[in-house]
Amino acid sequence: MPSQSAFNIKHSTFEGNIQRILLAFTLLLLPATAWEIPKNCDQLIVGTAKSWDSSYVSVTLYERTRSGWKAATKPVTGRLGKNGLAWGRGIHPFTTSPHLKKEGDGRAPAGVFQIGGAYGVHKSIKKHRSLPYRRVTTRDLWVEDSTSSMYNRHILLDHEPSSEWEKKAQMRQNDYPHSLKLYIGHNTAYANQAAKPNGGSAIFFHIWRNGGASATAGCTTLPEANLRDLISKIDPSKNPLYLLLPQAEYVKLRAEWKLP
């Protein structure tokens, strides 16, 4: 792997905006007592799987109203990691049992995560005006190399990728399922805080593969129409979060975490 000094990197203004948004939300989301879904979260994407080892998920977007959580979309079936789920690193209390997410384990991170911006190859998408959208180029990389100081970060090269390391990290791979994605803030790297090495990287919502016949390496995938609808409804001013849990864990934590 080339060292960071082996190529010039433009620190992405887009990534900087995402970091500022997520960091601001983090400060607001920290509770003072027992943990629950933060009161300033008014949009919650809920994903539930049948078990820790299931690669199928049911996804519903909820909005908080004066009378409680109300479904804003119908449940839609999606796919998760081929090996199921493992606890991730998000805003929920840290735990490792029965599994803790690791790079390359084929599991989707369970827990509660902030929602970042959208990325895609399209000139424009239907979205809330405040949701950042980055039209990726061949120079946009997402670093999944756990030994890199840029691990789990979006970076923008000032040249066309030339090394194998750079090419492998390209976000634009002429792979349609990855042509539109929404960032899930698992193991997030901020400007002053590195992601946990080997803790898992590049976790997104994106278009499912083979009509849903294929599981993922850890992302949550949905039919394209449902993904586009979900992205169009995400409002950053409502501090949106993604909750992903096995069904039994959801039932156990529902009252304590004040879930829908």
Confidence of residue 173 (pLDDT cuts 50, 70, 90): confident
Residue 16: the pLDDT is 55
Nearest to 61 by CA among 238, 253, 256: 238
Q: Which of 65, 114, 111 is nearest to 92 (CA)?
A: 111
Q: Tell me what pLDDT residue 108 has.
A: 98
- Mean pLDDT value of segment 168-190: 93
Which one of 3.40.1390.30, 2.40.440.10, 3.30.360.10, 3.30.470.20 gives the CATH number of domain 4-29+40-253?
2.40.440.10
What is the pLDDT confidence band of residue 142, given thresholds at 50, 70 and 90? very high
- 169 by Cβ neighbours in 10 Å (0-12 / 13-18 / 19+) ranks as buried
Residue 121 contacts residue 136 (beta carbons within 8 Å)? yes
Instruction: Please state, for a pLDDT cut of 70, what percent of the chain lies above it.
Output: 86
Sign, CA dihedral 189-193-194-196, equals negative
pLDDT at 17: 55
**pTM for this prediction:** 0.88
Please compute the mean of the pLDDT values over residues 7-35 and round it to a whole number: 53
- Rounded CA gap, 3 and 149, in Å? 9
Note whether 185 and 75 are within 8 A (CB). Answer: no
Flag whether pLDDT at 82 surpasses 90: yes
What's the pLDDT at 19? 54
**Per this entry, what is the length of the chain?**
260
Burial class (CB in 10 A: 0-12, 13-18, 19+), 187: buried
**Domain extents in the chain:** 4-29+40-253
Under the banding of pLDDT at 50, 70 and 90, the label for residue 194 is confident
C-alpha–C-alpha distance, residues 144 and 151, integer Å: 6
**Cα–Cα dist 125/206, whole Å:** 14
Lowest-pLDDT choice from 52-66, 97-111, 185-199: 185-199
CA dist., res. 220 & res. 58, Å (int): 10
Output the CA angle 185-232-106, nearest 5 degrees. 35
| Of the listed ranges 20-24, 76-80, 212-216, the one predicted with least confidence | 20-24
Of residues 54 and 11, more confidently modeled: 54
The residue with tokens 């990726």 is: 136
pLDDT for the residue 134: 97
